């Protein structure tokens, strides 16, 4: 156990030095359904289907704020989705992701109108697994798709998840769902700047292990110079769960443990959390998952 903890710590430190990771929640998400104009889409759900026999042709639209990361070298992009329903006889929906080519937002877009998209920027993905009313988590590798999207120079209007022909339902939870652990997120990893063949040491780096955890995790962070440090844990709604540290720290590597409890000492619920470390003018945020 001791050697495993040491290995996790070393891997954590290595990833912190060589890459920066950001986990984003959607700014907008919805699905369109032109064939049922009298039905209002469920705000907590995202549907995709393309099945003429039942008259269902729903498409999912997702938007993430990517402007703060423009100009950085993207290493990976992973979309996290939670499916709660699919066809009971198969549980498979073959889809294609497309870059959306017109502006929209969930508050004003007509849900009975499918949005247009760029056919040249696309990727296939098959949502498989157990069918019926079963919770299935997906980690969709969108790295090549995002890189192609960036190289095309197209504006960020989000992306579309469209079921291929004769594909039955897959239904996912949206960012409005009450269980924050089921909401969609996008995890982006960017390379740090390279200078003279070596990695430029970041002013602040961090990761936590284990992740997922139950219910204790260690946050490992490094400071390029001494200074005041504040470490806070937030839920996906941006609400403060716990302040872990607020004080001075010397240059170098440090660790702090979160015991999975909130500011009142109560056990936090299962789900996604974020810890933010602020040191001087630098600040980083990381995603972690509690699974009991």
- Return the half-sphere exposure (C-beta side, CA atoms, 13 A cut-off) of residue 109: 23
Q: How many residues are there in the chain?
A: 292
pLDDT for position 9: 57
pLDDT for position 207: 84
pLDDT < 70: residue spans in the chain: 1-19, 68, 70-71, 192-202
List of residues 6+ apart from 2 with CB closer than 8 A: none
Element (H, E) at 23: strand 19-24
CA 111/CA 283 separation, integer angstroms: 38
pLDDT for position 153: 84
CA 224/CA 280 separation, integer angstroms: 11
pLDDT for position 231: 95
**Between the CA of residue 35 and those of 10, 173, 289, what are the distances in Å?**
54, 21, 38
CA 263/CA 259 separation, integer angstroms: 11
Chain-wide mean pLDDT for the chain?
A: 86
Dmax (CA) for the chain in angstroms is 66
pLDDT for position 10: 52
pLDDT for position 184: 94
List of residues 6+ apart from 68 with CB closer than 8 A: none
List of residues 6+ apart from 95 with CB closer than 8 A: 48, 124, 125, 126, 127, 161, 162, 163, 164, 167, 170
pLDDT for position 109: 96
Domains and CATH numbers, the chain: 2-18+201-290 (2.60.40.4070), 26-183 (no CATH)
Q: Can you give the pTM of this predicted structure?
A: 0.64
């Amino acid at each position: 156990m001791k050697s495993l903890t040491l290995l996790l710590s070393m891997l954590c430190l290595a990833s912190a030095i060589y890459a920066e990771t950001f986990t984003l929640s959607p700014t907008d998400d919805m699905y369109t359904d032109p064939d049922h104009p009298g039905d209002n889409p469920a705000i907590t759900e995202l549907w995709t289907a393309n099945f003429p026999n039942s008259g269902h042709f729903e498409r999912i639209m997702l938007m993430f704020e990517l402007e703060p990361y423009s100009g950085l070298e993207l290493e990976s992009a992973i979309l996290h989705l939670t499916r709660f329903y699919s066809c009971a006889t198969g549980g498979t929906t073959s889809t294609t992701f497309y870059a959306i080519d017109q502006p929209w937002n969930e508050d004003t877009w007509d849900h009975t109108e499918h949005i247009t998209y760029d056919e040249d920027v696309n990727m296939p993905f098959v949502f498989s697994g157990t069918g019926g009313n079963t919770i299935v988590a997906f980690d969709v590798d969108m790295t090549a798709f995002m890189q192609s999207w960036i190289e095309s120079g197209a504006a960020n209007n989000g992306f579309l998840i469209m079921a291929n022909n004769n594909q039955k339902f897959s239904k996912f939870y949206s960012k409005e769902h009450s269980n924050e652990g089921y909401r969609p997120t996008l995890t982006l990893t960017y390379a740090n700047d390279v200078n003279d063949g070596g990695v430029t040491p970041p002013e602040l780096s961090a990761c936590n292990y284990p992740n997922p955890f139950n219910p204790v995790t260690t946050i490992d962070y490094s400071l390029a110079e001494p200074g005041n440090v504040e470490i806070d844990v937030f839920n996906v709604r941006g609400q403060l769960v716990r302040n872990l540290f607020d004080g001075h720290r010397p240059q170098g590597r440090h660790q702090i443990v979160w015991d999975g409890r909130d500011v009142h000492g109560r056990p936090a619920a299962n789900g996604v959390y974020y810890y933010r470390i602020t040191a001087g003018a630098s600040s980083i945020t990381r995603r972690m998952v509690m699974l009991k």
